[in-house]
Amino acid sequence: MSISDVLTMGYHFGQARWRWQHLNGERLPAFQATKTRQLIAWVAQHSAFYRQHWQGHNLNDWRNLPAVDKSLMMANFREFNTLQVPAAAAFDLAQQAEQQRDFVPRLGDLTIGLSSGTSGYRGLFLVSAAEQLLWAGTILGRTLHQIKPTKIAFFLRANSNLYQQLGGRLIQFRYFDLTQALVGHIQVLNEYRPTIIVAPPALLLQLLAAAQNGQLSHRPERMISVADALANDEQQQLSNYFDIPIEQIYQATEGLLGISCAHGNLHLQEDIVAVDFEDLGQGRVTPYITDLWRRTQPIIRYRLNDVLRLSSQPCTCGSAFAVIEQIEGRRDDLCYFTCHGQRQAIFPDSLRRAMLLAHSAIQEYQITQTHDDQLTINVMLADFADQVAVGAAVEQQIKLHLADYGCTNCQLSIGFEPIEYGLVNKRRRVIRQ
Ligand SMILES: [Zn+2]
């Protein structure tokens, strides 16, 4: 990393901290309005897709511009990005890099990101070197609450040169490869003694088990969950044992959406993305994001597949940025039941809560719905557990929960097969097929 890169990143680090403290009240919407006005005028000139997509619309009324989503973006990839990079070239490069485990596929000064393909196909994202420095400076500015010597252990599926380059005297980074065995990592953690551990929730839970059985003796000052949604019960377990709040970074290849503050609440990063919400009912929303900064691949009114619950309370840390109470999963995984004679969506979180209450011997489970009014539930139990008793308890809880919505004719089938999510794949406990 060159001196000028370090200075640029330092600049973004300082700016991110300044905005965090100063963008409150009227200043936040004013900031977003200025940034979007500049962004949209520029994108209308440089992206053939958006120019066409916005035809006949008032560009000043940006919150009412037509939305985009992954399928629309991928179908028009070359015209969508502002450098006219064809999708095939970017895909080939990204796939080649993955096979060779060289994780930073580059096309000139562009880094190529692939989003997970859980909804059918993978999304491609192009990020310029300048955009990456902005991202790195911002994320450090928001996550390092105090400037002091800090050792950060990163558990990631893919290493990135960026983290290695970031390391300095004050802040050290060490990368742990998620595809390698945990035993070796635990030994290194005990010796390296990181201040902060950053990892997907599945790995944090493995560290919890290793701490409980005495293998992991080191206790970090902070733990940050990334790359997958952290369920409430898991957050509680981790927090209780390690006696620290479990923080989160909520980030997709589409954008940096949320980071926990020093008070442990997950704030939308409203100076990075302007977010509109579609109301799904029952207090749940789907976000439409507009990245205020990215120009290589502009993300404007992009509909995510996520279901969120927002907090109605402002955070005690004083930031005006909205707080996400819970990331509940994917919109594609809403399950449907006939309730009072009408088709009704039930949120995955309601089913997860029912499972949590069903029986203490349940170690893991997966609920699949292939058609309305039906659920297949696969449960993994502790060795000593009685399948018949647990099965009956699960059936009772699920039916009780559904009855609350007025659904009384659900067909359940309960099985006890092993479940292996692995650390790399996203854990989807509720799946609608
Ligand atoms: Zn806060």
Q: What pLDDT digit, counting tens, does each position of 121-177 carry? A: 678 889 898 998 999 899 999 999 888 899 999 887 765 555 555 656 788 888 888
Of 388, 418, 412, 381, residue with least CA distance to 398: 412
Long-range contacts of 73-80 (CB under 8 A, 24+ apart): 73/123, 73/302, 74/121, 74/123, 74/124, 76/49, 77/124, 79/47, 79/48, 79/49, 79/52, 80/47, 80/49, 80/50, 80/297, 80/298
Is the predicted pLDDT of residue 120 greater than 60, yes or no?
Answer: no
Q: What is the pLDDT of residue 353?
A: 85
Instruction: Quickly state the pLDDT bin for 235 (edges 50, 70, 90).
Output: very high
Kindly give the distance from the C-alpha atom of residue 433 to the centroid of ligand 1, in angstroms, as a whole number. 37
Residue 204: pLDDT band by 50, 70, 90 thresholds?
very high
Q: What is the pLDDT of residues 321-377, one digit of tens each?
A: 999 999 888 888 899 999 888 898 888 888 988 998 899 888 889 999 999 999 999
In whole numbers, what is the pLDDT of the chain averaged over residues? Answer: 89
User: What is the reported pLDDT for 153?
Assistant: 93
Nearest to 202 by CA among 165, 246, 232, 234: 234
For residue 15, pLDDT over 90 is answered with: yes
Dist. CA 47 → ligand 1 center (Å): 36
pTM for this model (two decimals)? 0.87
The answer to whether 327 and 306 have CB atoms below 8 angstroms apart is: yes
Cα(10) to ligand 1 centroid in Å equals: 23
Q: Is 305 left (phi over 0), alpha (psi -120 to 50) or beta?
A: alpha
In this prediction, residue 164 carries a pLDDT of: 58
Distance 350 CA to ligand 1 centre (A): 26
Kindly report which listed range (22-36, 56-70, 155-169, 269-283) carries the lowest average pLDDT score: 155-169
329 alpha carbon – ligand 1 mean position (Å): 22
Query: Which pLDDT belongs to residue 163?
Result: 58
178 Cα: distance to centroid of ligand 1 (angstroms): 30
Between the alpha carbon of residue 334 and those of residues 122, 162, 217, 395, the distances in Å are 21, 37, 40, 19
Beta bridge partners of 225: 199, 248
